[in-house]
Amino acid sequence: MYYIDNKRFEEIIPLYIQNPKEFEDELMGLFDLLITNIIESFKFSIDKDDAKQECFLLILKTLRNFQSSKGSAFNYFTTVIVNNLKLLYTKNKKYLKKIDEYNELMGNYKPSSS
């Protein structure tokens, strides 16, 4: 597992906001690493590619809300990502339960892989 240098992480966020084209690859690389590490360490049973896309969208929406005076970038975005993954996992679990209930009702019950 690779680790993120929080100091660089916090330096690059305002640089990206001012000049997205120049700093996009580096910042998105850091976010990709963070998202991947979280998905692998928490072992969420969700589609990893879909989850990553959802996390990237949320990060782009919340990026400007980050304030280093209120905490580290690593902690802030870890919280954003973990909460989003929990939401995705819960939604997926409820969806699979509804499919199971429907199949049971229709008489062709085959438990979904949850």
Report pLDDT for 101: 79
What is the average per-residue pLDDT within 21-36?
95
The structure's pTM equals: 0.75
Q: Judging by beta carbons within 10 Å of its beta carbon (0-12, 13-18, 19+), is residue 71 exposed, middle or buried?
A: exposed
- CATH class of residue range 6-106: mainly alpha
Confidence band for 109, pLDDT divided at 50, 70 and 90: low
Report pLDDT for 88: 84
Q: Which residues lie below 8 Å from residue 83, measured CB to CB, with a gap of 6+? A: none
Torsion of CA 17, 23, 26, 27, to 10 degrees: 10
Alpha carbon 47 to its chain centroid, in Å, reads 11
